[in-house]
Amino acid sequence: MLALVVTLALLLPGLAGADDASALYEQNCVSCHGSEVFTRPDRRVQSLGGLASQVRMCEQNLGLQWFDEDVQAVVGLLNREYYHFDQPAAD
User: Is 23 a residue whose pLDDT tops 80?
Assistant: yes
Q: What is the pLDDT of residues 44-80, one digit of tens each?
A: 999 999 999 999 999 999 999 999 999 999 999 999 9
Residue 2: pLDDT band with limits 50, 70, 90: low
Residue 88: phi and psi, rounded to 5, are: -60, 140
For position 1, what pLDDT does the model report? Answer: 60
CA distance 72 to 88: 14
Give the Cβ contact number of residue 2 at 10 Å: 11
User: Is 90 a residue whose pLDDT tops 70?
Assistant: no
Sign of torsion, CA 44 48 36 65?
negative
Average pLDDT, the chain: 85
- Select from 34, 15, 27, 19 the least CA-distant residue to 72: 15
- Angle, CA of 56, 59 and 60, to the nearest 5°: 85
